[in-house]
Amino acid sequence: MFNNTILQELTPLSEKDCFYIVDRTKSTFTFPLHKHADCEINYVENARGTRRIVGDSLEVIGDYDLVLITGKELEHTWENYQCSSNEIHEITIQFSPELFSQGLLNKNQFKSIKKMLELAEKGLVFPLNTILVVRPLLTSLAHEKQGFYAVISFFTLLYELSLSNDVRTLSSTTFARSTITNESRRVQKVHDYLTSHFAEEIRLAQLAESVNMTEASFSRFFKQRTGKSVTDYLLDIRIGNAIRLLVDSSQTIGEICFSSGFNNLSNFNRIFRKRKGCSPKEFRDNYHKKKVIV
């Protein structure tokens, strides 16, 4: 195992406050790859060329970036990379996951917020149209002096974010160590099996039989409920496991390939590059540059 670990941040959020917010303008990103128990909304403006790392997602952002992270084990950072701006505008909001009780989240009025918070265990990035809607809320919230009205504005912000139709998850489920919450017991059963046996040969007929469906019916059903084919779903799990091993172990690329369920190294490299935009070795090298010893 590598001796490098992710920085565990102790956020400045007080137990007596609902959230902590900071609004700043800066010329560089200096905080290393880190994780924390509190949830976080991070808005970045005027930082084109910055590289955002959330779990196993590495992306270069444009002029606007808005991300929600609720996974306490999900490491993340923003680094300058190709950004040359001297006036990076950043608003960060941190809040405790205990702010919302399950009793409150289970109310109909909070249904969309609950779903969003669950998805954000893997990190959520919001589209530009959503950013333009909530940008005034973010700005006013950062300068609201009355605590009660600030909380109302914060709830409004979360609700507006939860209405976004084009939100996108960043990290893979396996890497983020997040759970799935699907109303279908059949999907949950298949998910549990795949996450436990992804290194083995998986046959569609075997999965269909386990939930008492024909192969054709099961394929349609699974795609409707998850938005992905069984093949793509399994590949996500295998790639997520491979990336976790690239980050947290000293195994060779070949060892990681076969222990993650791939039976061909060239095929593994091809699929990995297609999904992550770089080779497994390049991903490992780039990721370890961001890890710090604590």
* 294 within domain boundaries: no
148 and 208 belong to one structural domain? no
Helix-strand-coil split of the chain, %, nearest 5: 45, 15, 35
| Largest interatomic CA distance in the chain | 61
Is 1 a member of any domain?
A: no
Looking at the structure, tell me whether residues 75 and 208 fall in a common domain: no
CATH number at residue 201: 1.10.10.60
pLDDT tens for the chain, 294 residues long, are 333 456 777 788 888 889 999 999 999 998 888 889 999 999 999 999 999 999 888 889 999 999 999 998 899 999 998 999 999 999 999 999 888 888 888 899 999 999 999 999 999 999 999 999 999 999 999 888 888 999 999 999 999 999 998 899 998 877 777 666 555 788 888 988 998 999 999 999 999 999 999 999 999 999 888 888 999 999 989 998 999 899 888 999 999 999 999 999 999 999 999 988 899 999 888 876 654 433
Q: Are residues 184 and 167 in the same domain?
A: no
| pLDDT at residue 148, as a whole number | 92
- What is the number of residues in the chain? 294
Q: Total domain count for the chain?
A: 2
> What is the domain extent for residue 125?
7-173
* Domain stops at, among 173, 201, 225: 173
Structure tokens at 191: 């998910």
Supply the pLDDT for residue 5: 57
What are φ and ψ of residue 142, in 5° steps? -65, -20
The answer for residues whose C-beta is within 8 angstroms of residue 30's C-beta and 6 or more apart is: none
Instruction: Give the pLDDT confidence score for residue 2 in this predicted structure.
Output: 37
Residue 54 within any structural domain of the chain = yes
Is 293 inside any structural domain? no
Q: Last residue of a domain, which of 135, 153, 173?
A: 173
Q: Are residues 94 and 203 in the same domain?
A: no
- Could you tell me the two tokens for 211? 């939930």
AA letter at 283? F
How many alpha carbons lie under 13 Å from residue 129 in its C-beta half-sphere? 5
Residues 147, 195 share a domain: no
Query: What span, in angstroms and rounded, lies between the C-alpha atoms of 55 and 34?
Result: 10
110 and 86 in a common domain: yes
